[in-house]
Amino acid sequence: MLAWEVLRAVDERGAYANLLLPALMAQRRLPARDRGFATELTYGTLRAMGVLDLLLGTATNRPVEAVDPPVRDALRLGAYQLLHTRVPARAAVASTVDLVRQTSGERPVRFANAVLRRVASRVVETGGDIAALVAAPSYADDPVGHLAMVTSHPRWVVETFASALQGDMAETRCALEADDQRPTTHLVARPGLIDRDALLDSVRQAGLDAEPGRWSSYAVRLAGGDPGRLAEVSDGRAGVQDEGSQLVVTALSQVLTVGADTGVSVDLCAGPGGKTALLAGLLPRTRLVAVEPRAARARLVARAVAGRSNVTVVRADGRRCPLVPGTADRVLADVPCTGLGALRRRPEARWRRPASEVATLSSLQRQLLVAALDLVRPGGVVAYVTCSPHPAETTEVVADVAGQRADVSVLDARASLPGVDDLGDGPFVQLWPHRHGTDAMFLAILRRASP
């Protein structure tokens, strides 16, 4: 029932499953075993929705989109159990039929029972081979279409990953499959408040399995458990933050500026504040201006940096930042994007974002990068960051903006991430879940020319 409630909330009001599900499980005090199954069932169903709908479409007498939404979500949950879990087929069908009865009454029960029995039979007949179940095109004839179906991604996302990986379809498959792996939780030890070793010791004393991050000096990776139980997270000495996000912020803090510093830096798109809090600790002698246009997110930023005397939160559009142009030493432009780099953490996102949004976002991203470059002083640096590998949001934006400005040079961002492997030929950095175990963060570092 809990997984169904989350699916309905995602469908009806655009809820975020990674926020809603933990809250509901805590509210209802689910035991650990039930929490694990509820998490797998919810996130797995949302990730696999495209394939599940194709599979259900082979077993219904009507288009899947025409099925009553509450019943459709129940059928998706049942189909996921049949395809991806060890739940016996009879139990999966029975529990789903009971769910339909509880949530939609008796009328659709026979329909649901018949559909799931057909799905169960097809899974047995094909041995659970997804390509056979959904009649995917052969890899030889249509590699993009094949991968879209068997990895349950929209075709445009597969094309995007392939483009970002220079057409390497074998690695594209690895990147897509990494989206379906359950992500580990990464913590950040905020500099000046707690160090990584102390945080690691505390996590282990709390009975949680953990290890140091692979790349960031501030990262702790949890094998499981609720980070909200930790006092360090509750009081703000530590936070939940992907290691890739830590790396791009650390890189900006380590790039040398040229000329005399003003002592002012800017986080141009600060909400919800995790990167701001880390940057404030890495640059303790700098006055950091955190810019965020939305009131709710500005409050989150203020909460994240509570106790940091070197941070000022300003409600403003980053494209019209109320600072004197040419006065900042460093600017972080972590721009709004499609979020394709965090699909493993946001299971519904791959179906929520249409390809048509990319053009609108890339226009905004260009405007924000121009604003960041205008803010930074000659000799200062800008970190352009997205949580997306889409070339239209990453390399194309930087090339377009930098190509129109004689006062800007693109630095080799790899030099700011010593010890991080497999970063390609530069000058940009593209992290990947399947390569680095992080979100697919993109980083470009640009410098305003000195006069």
Burial bucket for residue 79 (CB in 10 Å: 0-12, 13-18, 19+) = buried
Alpha-carbon span 444 to 447, nearest angstrom:
10
Nearest to 447 by CA among 406, 393, 414: 406
Cβ contacts of residue 138 below 8 Å, gap of 6+? 146
Q: Which helix (H) or strand (E) holds 310?
A: none
Q: Which residues pair with 331 in a beta bridge?
A: 266, 382
What is the distance, to the nearest Å, from the Cα of residue 239 to the centroid of all Cα atoms in its chain?
A: 16
Residue linked to tokens 């995917």: 136
CB 208 within 8 A of CB 240: no
Half-sphere exposure of 332 (CA within 13 A, CB side): 34
Is 387 annotated as catalytic?
Answer: yes
CB 289 within 8 A of CB 265: yes
DSSP 3-state percent helix, strand, coil across the chain (nearest 5) = 50, 15, 35
Candidates 269, 321, 337, 387; catalytic one: 387
Active site residues: 387
